Amino acid sequence: MSSQKYASLRYTALRFGLLIGCFAVVYVLCYAHVIPLGVGSSNLMWMVLLSLVLSAPLSWVLLRKQRDAMSVQIVERVDRAKAAINANAGQEDGV
């Protein structure tokens, strides 16, 4: 259970780390002239967008376990919230 306690935080941190890693690779490839630089002053925006496009499918494949753990954590929270709402509704009906 404790491994799932911070599942959302862990997934978000890993996703952000993957984005930063992709940005570093894109940055190196741009300045090594392997891939084209942006037009005019759009170079930074081009690198960020390309990093986002690259990191999305990578995170889908590489972070599957963390995403599943996060989904279990969210389902547990929703179930607890539903139980609390039902308990409160039952108390109100009894009054």
Return d(Cα 82, Cα 87) in angstroms, integer.
9
The average pLDDT across 2-11 equals 78
* Residue with token string 């005019």: 40
In this predicted model, what pLDDT tens digit does every residue of 45-91 receive, in sequence order? 889 999 999 999 999 999 999 999 898 988 988 998 888 888 887 77
How far is it between the farthest Cα atoms of the chain? Answer: 74
Return d(Cα 78, Cα 4) in angstroms, integer.
15
In this predicted model, what pLDDT tens digit does every residue of 19-46 receive, in sequence order? 999 999 999 998 888 888 776 667 888 8
Return d(Cα 7, Cα 13) in angstroms, integer.
10
